[in-house]
Amino acid sequence: MLEPLEKPSIVAIYVRVSTEEQALHGYSIDAQLDTLREYCKLYNKEIYDEYVDRGISGKSTEKRYELQRMLKDAQMGLFNEVLVWKINRLARNTYDLLGITQMLSKHSVAFTSFSERFDTGSAMGKFALQMMGAVGELERNTIVDNVKMGLSKRAKTGKHNGKVPLGYKTVEVPGERGRNRDSRVEIVPEEVVIVTKIFERFAAGQGFKSIANQLNHEGYGTKSGNAFSICGVKEILDNPFYVGKIRYNRFEQWSEKRRKGRNPKPIIENGLHPPIISEELWNKVQYLRQKKAVVSLKRFDGEFLLTWLIRCPKCGGPMVANRIQNRQKDGSKITRLYYSCSNFRNKGSKVCSANSIRKQEAEQYVVKRVKEVLAQPQILKAVVSNINERKAKRTKPLQQELDSITARIAQLEEKRQRYFELYEIDQLDRELFSKRLDDINAELDRLHAKKSELTFELQDDNPEPVSYEVVRTLLKKFDELLDSSPFEQRKTLMHLVIKKITIKDTRTVDKIEMNFDENTVQHFLAADPSATHAEGSFALRMRRALAGQKIWFAI
């Protein structure tokens, strides 16, 4: 009996290096690629493609467009093995590593590490993989702890970490042989005026919105040139940097918890920088901040489905719930519900106007418009035609930008090679050669990152035309769920499916921009009250139709 032929090994090579790793440890993308290519050549493995993330940290999968592209290709069955130089090139935390390898295994794609060779298909191999992932995570956490220790030491000696706030600037201090080894903080006089106004006005009894509105009317801006907001004013009033203090470790685990990770005991030490605000004024402001900390929550009658979806016709900002009480002739009060511009409510009349639109009219229009489109096939066919025309037009400029970046990368690679040749024949001194090479490598990292992003975007934007039946079925399902679901599900559905709602100057709805993808379809199925089982019949039909597509259109 003939043995079945062994399936040929088609390999996807994945390499990654962060900027810090290349600088500190000499890790090189080219060295990794050369090693893995030789390995494939030695074992007669066919290389399908090389996926390269340059200058990107491995702490998460975010912004790693080449990794995301590789995973999509794996799901499509374009190769049957992923090859990396070391396991920590794929992920530096155990959760991501196991999630990626599990997904690869689900699609019958083997995972191989050149440096740590073991069979991930066996129980011992899986255990070894978990241990190596844990070691990689421990290594990264140790580096993070060491960096935090160094930053904490700086803070405790009165030195700043990171960017300085409005009112200050950093000036580099030359060290040995002209190298910049440290920096000092100096006052910016024109910005000091703004900071002083904020503290003095709050101490005089003005509120956050009033201060922001007045500063914007006077033509002042934040350090980045934006208009002042309530949050911006609060941040300045709460920052002890202005009274000559250094505050460090205000938030812990920022990348995971954001502002929820507030540290109750941050490091606060006397700083080496000059203060802008006196102790007396600072203490007065902090006392008032504590007094005003407890604010009664506004209660809004009714349920607002479209908050942050409707866009202001004047500034384009999101519109939020607003309640206005009017007194009748008989002395009674009547409450009217609106959507109003969030920039006006947050930053004042200098930035925008209320541009309110009645809540009931806006929400009724959205539902009515969907029903109209479903009831008139000629309108929906025109919508589908517009979708396909937009998809065709979108691809061309992205491809042109990608071609331009690819050509620039080739020029820089050639230029880098010429510098190597000049250096080898002693036509360039070492210091000049090193500087030129660093500049070229920095630009190459930036261009490769952009190239990966564009490639992923082009791949994600499937050029295949969308069928009329697909869009009609999606809109029908959307309409059915709006009629049958409770409020919380309807609001979630609105924010999942509707990208934005624009309104005219006449304060009536102009158009509704909608967005459907595979995740949207899954959400429909989960929320469908008529489904008799986990996925329902809709799943089998629509998953094939939407495979690899994202549908965006306006009605």
The residues that are catalytic are 18
Question: ∠ at Cα 105 (104, 107), nearest 5°?
Answer: 70
Rounded distance between C-alpha atoms, residue 246 and residue 271, angstroms = 5
- DSSP string for residues in 350-361: TT-----EEHHH
Question: What three-state secondary structure class fits 468?
Answer: helix
Nearest to 223 by CA among 263, 194, 180, 184: 194
Question: What three-state secondary structure class fits 97?
Answer: helix
Return the beta strands (E) in 175-296 as ranges.
180-187, 245-248, 267-270
Count of beta carbons in the 10 Å neighbourhood of residue 124 = 10
Q: Which residue has the tokens 């418009």?
A: 369
- DSSP string for residues in 340-389: EEHHHHHH-TTT-----EEHHHHHHHHHHHHHHHHH-HHHHHHHHHHHHH
Contact 40, 13 (CB under 8 A): yes
The DSSP symbol for 517 reads: -
Contact 501, 309 (CB under 8 A): yes
Count of beta carbons in the 10 Å neighbourhood of residue 5 = 6
Q: Sign of the C-alpha dihedral, residues 30, 34, 39, 45? A: positive
Residues with Cβ within 8 Å of 386's Cβ and at least 6 positions away in sequence, in order, are: 553, 554
Nearest to 84 by CA among 124, 138, 136, 158: 136
